[in-house]
Structure 1
């Protein structure tokens, strides 16, 4: 599938290189000033994505696509959702299982967020898990998710600002073996164009941008076509 090359790089980074860093960042442990801004930004973005979904999710089946260490999945379950939480990195899934109370009944799985074997959902959230994909790859992934999601898909992307574009171009200059997967900045217009080219039905909306030091991300929602009428 079209996204599998990028998926392999992300898997290698998170499961073999960044597990300890990610575990610390998503905990209450002290971190550096730079990482502290990222932590604050991610906390804010988690609340933004939760705000894109109904406050009461009782009876709803929700996919946390790229669940990391489980913080968002936990909040979704507390709202009453039946949560399937998937991440490409098995080590992060093990951390999530250890952190999140078993009584919440979250189905944690290691694997591809686009796997049709995960089933169908009322909502999907994807916080900072689609940020490494090109416009074409992103539209393809959203198309796969839309086919199995009856209501809102809420996700984040790095914005296509002059600063992030400059950082992105500089990052692409380094050999791949010496850097983590490169985030791909996006604009809503380019994403919308890619979705049209992929013939993904529905309505894309830019919801809110969160800027906290080194964390800069934009929340989007994609709703089914009937929601636009």
Structure 2
């Protein structure tokens, strides 16, 4: 895969951040516990994005096998299983997977298999759909194209995922982060345009259709939902 070394090093940074630095913060953000005004806008934005992503799939997912790539604390996986899906929910952070398992409700029509590991592991098998909410936002265009290329042979229908849009504000924040790195800061989001990802796909000879679904703006949460069909 093009950019494999970059993918591996970025994945390691993200794993360290979520599994060691931000576990408690992420656990609180994804719960019903009160949060600050800034984090409240992020929570609201993520709720809107989750609903938007779910709207791209059929309401009845009975019998469908779905990959939740970067499942975090499991909210999207639970929503998919509530529609009857057989969900493989994977995250690189074992700490977040532990939280997701504790939060899993009983009596869902579908089932969830929570796993700690890499979302691109071939042993996960084939899927009807895949979803990745805010789990690919730290990677460069070549790595994202590589991810699409590796998932495509194992995907029957669609891959719905999010990226940070290439807006003036996010580009300014990205440049500041590049100039003033700090060890305890979260991994830097990389802003992208759909055209840029499409160019990277052509360079990597990844076949498929890519489209932007919609952008969600909620205070400090700015994210675009995209759909890839092989």
- Whether TM exceeds 0.5 here: the answer is yes
TM-score range, shorter chain: over 0.9
Matched residue SS, 1:69: coil
Q: Distance in 1 between matches of 2:106 and 2:206?
A: 36
Counterpart pick for 1:99 among 98, 103, 106: 103
Where does residue 200 of structure 1 map in the other structure?
A: 206
Q: Distance in 2 between matches of 1:54 and 1:144?
A: 24
Counterpart pick for 1:217 among 206, 218, 223: 223
Instruction: Supply the RMSD in Å over aligned alpha carbons.
Output: 1.0
The correspondence of residues 38-53 of structure 1 with structure 2, limited to 5 A, is 38-53=42-57
Q: Distance in 2 between matches of 1:52 and 1:196?
A: 25
Alignment: residue pair count: 224
Counterpart pick for 2:137 among 111, 127, 131: 131
Counterpart pick for 1:161 among 159, 167, 173: 167
Counterpart pick for 1:33 among 31, 37, 48: 37
- The offset of 1:52, in angstroms, is 1.1
Counterpart pick for 1:186 among 179, 192, 210: 192
Matched residue SS, 2:145: helix
Give the TM-score normalised by the residue count of structure 1: 0.96
Q: Distance in 2 between matches of 1:125 and 1:103?
A: 23
Runs of 4+ that moved beyond 2 A:
102-105
Where does residue 61 of structure 1 map in the other structure?
A: 65
Q: Distance in 2 between matches of 1:204 and 1:114?
A: 19
Matched residue SS, 1:147: helix
Which segment is superposed worse, 1-10 or 39-48? 1-10
Counterpart pick for 1:12 among 16, 32, 36: 16
Where does residue 172 of structure 1 map in the other structure?
A: 178
- The offset of 1:178, in angstroms, is 3.6
Q: Which runs of 5+ in 1 are unaligned?
A: 225-229
Q: Distance in 2 between matches of 1:27 and 1:87?
A: 18
- The offset of 1:176, in angstroms, is 4.5
Q: Which runs of 5+ in 2 are unaligned?
A: none
The answer to whether residue 118 in structure 2 is matched with residue 112 in structure 1 is yes
Q: Deviations over 1:13-38 (max 9, x none)?
A: 00000000000000000000000000
- The offset of 1:199, in angstroms, is 1.2
